Amino acid sequence: MKKSPIDTVFAQGESNPYGKFFTGQTYLTMLSAADPVFNAPIGNVTFEPGARTHWHKHAGGQILLVLNGEGRYRERGKEIQILKKGDVVRIPADVEHWHGAAPDSWFVHVSVETNPSKGPATWLEAVTDEEYK
Amino acid sequence: MKKSPIDTVFAQGESNPYGKFFTGQTYLTMLSAADPVFNAPIGNVTFEPGARTHWHKHAGGQILLVLNGEGRYRERGKEIQILKKGDVVRIPADVEHWHGAAPDSWFVHVSVETNPSKGPATWLEAVTDEEYK
């Protein structure tokens, strides 16, 4: 494990157990586990430069809170967005998208999974280098 | 408005519009507004030293993600807890509690209101200086 050179605010955590749905190296710390009481799974994800999720969608939506570094966000069919510390992304249910680090920057965001009772994320194909750049 | 001497990660925001339910000066930036689509109102709250909420409870619970500074958390009838950057507090529904800054430190936390469809917060009496110290 490489230690992040930028402040992750929360613990960097271990190598992401969902790594097979990501390209490159990412780390996950669960801040509030999935449960039927709070209904709001919250995790902190740290991406090494160039790392990103596969294309995916959430049955109940997701909110990203950017803590540090520079990242990327793209919804299928739309322009890529640059993300910086302090940015918030509200991803509606069933919208295909990916997120990750910039090619030359570590990136840290909190993920809040909304309406988890509507079902899990659906993971799709990897983001190609061409799509990423 | 005083500018926070510690990093608030997200914008410090304006003087808290719910200030009548707080003791001392606090600032609020909504990161994701209340709505029936995401069902997860998220705000960032910055407390000046000594500032704290009144006693209150949430019909659907609340999760606090501590971003910076040193704070305090107390549930009715329990010991006071010291909060530091990286800490998470999961506050069950209907549990009377308060949170705020340490006497000598600014304090910044993200608040995630869980299960908002269960109803709003109920605000109770102010936390006295004796209870606070």
Measured between CA atoms, the residue of chain B closest to residue A29 is B86
Stated pTM of the model = 0.97
**B14 in Cβ contact with B1 (< 8 Å):** yes
Amino acid at position A22, single letter: F
Measured in angstroms, the CA of B80 and the nearest CA of chain A are apart by 21
Q: What is the pLDDT of residue A35?
A: 95
Measured in angstroms, the CA of A39 and the nearest CA of chain B are apart by 7
Q: Which residues of B touch A93 (CB under 8 A)?
A: 37
Best CA proximity match to A98, nearest among A19, A29, A22? A22
SS3 B33: coil
Nearest CB neighbour to A38, from listed B67, B85, B90: B90
pLDDT digits (tens, 9 = 90+) for B41-82: 999 999 999 999 999 999 999 999 999 999 999 999 999 999
CA-to-CA distance for A107 and B22, rounded, in angstroms? 34
pLDDT digits (tens, 9 = 90+) for A40-82: 999 999 999 999 999 999 999 999 999 999 999 999 999 999 9
Dihedral sign, Cα of residue B35, residue B37, residue B38, residue B39: positive
Beta strands (DSSP E) in A1-118 are 14-15, 22-23, 26-32, 42-47, 52-53, 56-58, 62-75, 81-84, 88-91, 97-101, 107-113
Residues B77-84: contacts with CB within 8 Å, 24+ apart?
B83/B107, B83/B109
Contact B114 A38 (CB under 8 A): yes
Contact A39 B88 (CB under 8 A): no
Give the alpha-carbon dihedral of A112, A117, A123, A129, to 10 degrees. -20
Best CA proximity match to B90, nearest among B67, B71, B64, B54? B64
Measured in angstroms, the CA of A24 and the nearest CA of chain B are apart by 25
Find the angle CA(B67)-CA(B68)-CA(B71) to the nearest 5 degrees. Answer: 105
Contact A37 B110 (CB under 8 A): no
B73 to each of A78, A80, B87, how far by Cα in Å? 43, 40, 11
pLDDT digits (tens, 9 = 90+) for B77-129: 999 999 999 999 999 999 999 999 999 999 999 999 999 999 999 999 999 99
